[in-house]
Each structure stands twice: as structure tokens, then as C-alpha cells.
Structure 1
Amino acid sequence: MHFITKKFTELTTTELYEILQIRSKVFVVEQDCVYQDLDGKDQKSLHVIGFKEDKIVAYSRIFKPGDYFQNASIGRVVVSISERKFGFGHDLMKASIKAIEDQYQVIDITISAQVYLQKFYESHGFFKIGESYLEDGIPHIRMDKTNK
């Protein structure tokens, strides 16, 4: 697997289609959650794309500090269902954290994580902040990663 980071304007139409397809397949269909995925934030984020044999199988979008949270942020973290058994989610998080450090020169990151993935994100240095809340009908928690 290899990762690239692109601005929205650098995405090819095929890449954008595959990204939206994987996000819809997982967040809308698999998780049975009707929500507005196309939220107008893709244009100001950077896109971390994981390729396996020229097919997109992992994806996240990252934000500079102040664009989503006060800290930099990672969102829409997704791995194709058929590829999860290979640990690509961990590879994606490492690539996303590195992209934030490289692109924005910061290390403090805030995410809005689905509650059931708390241990996964803790394994990447994130810790829970506050109580859980509903986001699009799914329990979430705020998690931060800092070097303080």
C-alpha cells in the first residue's frame, strides 16, 4: 500500500469518484446512516489516499488548525470492507498524522471519533475528551493527540 496527499483541486475525477464511493459504501450503507456526506468541507481539506494495486482502499481528509477544530483534524477515516483485515486502518492513521505534521507543521490533533473505535485511536496516541455525543445518530467522542 502506498499513500499520497492531494488538494481537492489535484484530485482526478476518477479519484474523487472512488473516494465518494468508498465513503458512501461505508458511512451510509454499511453503517446504515443517512447523512449529508458532501458537506462542503472537502474543498478546504487535504486528502490522504491509500492505494493498493492502483485502487483506492483507504482514505481520510485532514484539516489545518482552525478549519474544523482549533487543532488540526483528521476525518472521514475509512478503509474498504474487504481490506480491513490487513491493518490498513493503522497505516492510514500513521499516514494522516504524518501528513498533518508535514503539511501544517503542527502535532496537536483533534478528532470526532465513533465511540466503538476509541481503543483504535488510543493506539495512535489519542485520548478521550469529555462525554460522548450523537453525530448523525451515531455515538461519537472528542479525542485529542498532543505532545504536551
Structure 2
Amino acid sequence: MPIRSLTFDDLTPREAYAVWRLRQDVFVVEQDCPYPDLDGRDLEPATRHVLLTDEQAGEEGEQGELLGYLRLLDDGAYARVGRVLLARTARGRGLADGLLHAALEQIGERESRLDAQAPLAGWYAGFGYAVTGPEYLEDGIPHVPMTRPAQTRR
């Protein structure tokens, strides 16, 4: 499955629509968490939109259906991973691993942080993240803050 990392300006209008639609379908509708998804951070020049699509290209060079997504932010001293999701039809096949690997490739040696839904903390731990604070509720869903320390080359 192709994974691409794009700035906001690199997204086609159809890709941007697919991203917003998938984020809305998963977080707002499926998880029943109405929140201000369009927070302005998508537009930041350093933000990367990591898209996982199926292999079927559409008309006029458009990529295939959006199956997964994450947003990578630059928060100064560290990177922040967020909005990690898969379409319902893409779950259970290990596809999220590829998304996170792609993000970590871009993060490189920098420290990175994320706020994990608590049941997924073990999955993130497999990528080097550790819980760094108490569990809290966000939109009625238990979350934990997690950090992956800066990496050193061996």
C-alpha cells in the first residue's frame, strides 16, 4: 500500500477532502467526539500529512482510496504525532504500522510525543514510546501522554 507524506499545499483538493472526510468519519461520527478538527495546524508549513492509500489510482493521476492517515506536527524541540486513524474497512491488517514507521522516518532522531487512546498504548510502546503521565479523558475517551526520546545513531 502506498504511503506518501505531503505538506498541505501538496495535497490535491480531492486528497484534502478525503483526509477531512476520513477524520470526521472516525473521530466525530464513529467515536462520537465532536471537536474542532480544523484547528489551523494542517496549514503550518512544517506539518506533514501522511496518507495511506490503496494501490488503485483514480482518474487523472489521483491516488487510490484513502485508507489511513496521520498528522505530523513540528512543536519546536519535538515532533508531535496525531490524528492517527484507519478507515473501518482497513483495520485489523497491520496497516497502521506502516503509517507510524513513515512518521518515525521523518522524525529521525528527534524526540516525539503523542496522546494515545489508552487501549493503544501497548501498540505505541512497540515503536519506542513510553507513557509519561497519568491517564485522562479527552472527549470521553481515556488517553495517555507518551514520548519517544530522541534517538542516537549507533
TM exceeds 0.5?
yes
Residue 134 of structure 1: CA displacement?
Answer: 2.3
Checking the alignment, whether the CA contact within 8 Å between 1:129 and 1:142 is kept in structure 2 is yes
**Equivalent position SS for 1:36:** coil
Q: Which amino acid aligns with 1:86?
A: R
**Equivalent position SS for 2:134:** strand
What fraction of aligned residue pairs are identical, expressed as a percent? 36
Residue 99 of structure 1: CA displacement?
Answer: 2.0
What is the match of residue 99 of structure 1?
A: 106
Q: Distance in 1 between matches of 2:139 and 2:74?
A: 23
From 84, 87, 103, the equivalent of 1:80 is 87
Residue 36 of structure 1: CA displacement?
Answer: 1.1
Q: Which amino acid aligns with 2:89?
A: S
**Equivalent position SS for 2:40:** coil
Q: Choose between structure 1 and 2: higher strand proportion.
A: 1
Residue 35 of structure 1: CA displacement?
Answer: 1.0
Q: Which amino acid aligns with 1:145?
A: R
**Equivalent position SS for 1:35:** coil
What is the match of residue 146 of structure 2?
A: 143
**Equivalent position SS for 1:111:** strand
Give the alignment's TM-score, normalised by structure 1: 0.89
What is the match of residue 48 of structure 2?
A: 46
**How many residues get paired?**
141
Checking the alignment, whether the CA contact within 8 Å between 1:64 and 1:100 is kept in structure 2 is no
Q: Distance in 2 between matches of 1:108 and 1:19?
A: 26
The higher radius of gyration belongs to 2
Q: Distance in 1 between matches of 2:38 and 2:139?
A: 13
Q: CA RMSD in A?
A: 1.4
**Equivalent position SS for 1:86:** coil
Q: Which runs of 5+ in 2 are unaligned?
A: 56-63
Residue 63 of structure 1: CA displacement?
Answer: 1.2
Q: Choose between structure 1 and 2: higher helix proportion.
A: 1
**Equivalent position SS for 1:49:** strand
**Equivalent position SS for 1:130:** coil
Q: Distance in 1 between matches of 2:131 and 2:88?
A: 26
Q: Which runs of 5+ in 1 are unaligned?
A: none
